Amino acid sequence: MHQKGKTFLCSECGQNFSRKYYLTVHLRRHKGIKPYKCKFCPKAFPRTTDLNAHEKYHTDEKPHLCTICGKGFHRHYNLVVHSRTHNGVKPYQCPHCPKNFAQGNDLKAHVRRHTGERYRCELCNEGFIQGYQLTNHKRTVHNIDTEGNTRQVTKYLTPSAQEQQVIIQKQKDPRN
């Protein structure tokens, strides 16, 4: 039950929640509790919404479609961010210059250009402006996933999603 005016404070990070349940779910992240297991791979998640979004990647389901260009997305939030490419909304402003950005990650990468800060690979010390570049580097150069495990991703995809991955990899290969 929602208690008007009462907030529930996370003792780990200080974040407030309007309901005790939200705090309980939030605390799972701090404690590493992941009770919701993927039916396709060994991954587990602290929330059912995270699990459901993850499982869509295995089936290549993209239920959130852009009404302008038809591009599909696994998550509604990604569609919202994508729609900014059509409507020109750029809510993120650089604190160092007058530039604005449609996505928060683009702003973070831009600010790193001002500050010179880099995401560093702990294996070879190579630096990257954007976090996804470090993730891709680890995946392709060191064959490591985001949790530090050696990758064997395709064995967890459905057959149709595996075929799609093969096509994507062939398109990315500069020798083709």
pLDDT of 169 reads 56
Are 150 and 143 within 8 A, CB to CB?
A: yes
Residues 6+ apart with CB under 8 A from 112: 118, 129, 130
- Fold match between 1-59 and 62-116? yes
String of DSSP letters for 30-67: HHT---EE-SSSS-EESSHHHHHHHHHHHHT---EE-T
7-43 per-position pLDDT tens digit: 899 998 889 999 999 999 989 988 989 999 999 999 9
pLDDT-above-90 percentage for the chain: 41
Domain residue extents for the chain: 1-59, 62-116, 121-147
pLDDT interval class at 170 (50, 70, 90): low
Q: Specify the CATH number of the domain 62-116.
A: 3.30.160.60
Q: Specify the CATH number of the domain 1-59.
A: 3.30.160.60
Structure tokens at 24: 């309980």
More confident site: 52 or 169: 52
CA distances from 90 to 2, 34, 73, 96, 101 (A): 35, 35, 20, 16, 5
pLDDT of 16 reads 92
Distance CA(128)–CA(121), nearest Å, equals 8
Tell if the pTM clears 0.75, that is, is over it.
no
105-159 per-position pLDDT tens digit: 889 889 989 999 998 988 889 999 888 899 898 888 888 865 555 444 444 555 6
Neighbours of 55 (CB within 10 A): 18
Distance CA(157)–CA(161), nearest Å, equals 6
